[in-house]
Homo-oligomer: A and B are copies of this chain.
């Protein structure tokens, strides 16, 4: 798993996993109320230590997207309001990163909106 990497941003694995699952929830790929794979199972699938997976889950729980039923397993929250809230926060971050990126390339705000309009329109 050790490779020459993005070099500045060494995002912890548990955060990457957390982000990934978060997006699956946001996008609806994981439905509210649905069961999540067990720690051990997902850990194996993703080739990661169960503790690492455990931590990712713990963080997701803390953010209110998951909840644990002690012996039954973990489930996506049914609190769609919370999901939506996270969805909007995430979108805002994505947009913010995008706009910053474009500004660094030397584009003006007007150009950015114009190009986005054009791109989403034509395709």
Which chain B positions have C-beta within 8 A of A106? 26-28, 87
- A interface, over-half SS: helix
Beta-carbon contacts under 8 Å, A19-64 to B:
23, 26-28, 62
Which residues of A does B touch, CB under 8 Å? 1-7, 10-13, 16, 23, 26-28, 62, 87, 90-92, 94-96, 98-99, 101-102, 104-107, 109-110, 112-113, 115-117, 119-121
Which chain B positions have C-beta within 8 A of A96? 119
Which chain B positions have C-beta within 8 A of A28? 106
| Nearest CB in chain B: distance from A68 CB, A | 15
Task: List the B residue with the shortest CB-CB distance to A28.
Answer: B106
Show 5 residue pairs from A and B whose CB-CB distance is below 8 angstroms, ordered by the A residue.
A2-B3, A4-B5, A6-B6, A6-B11, A26-B105
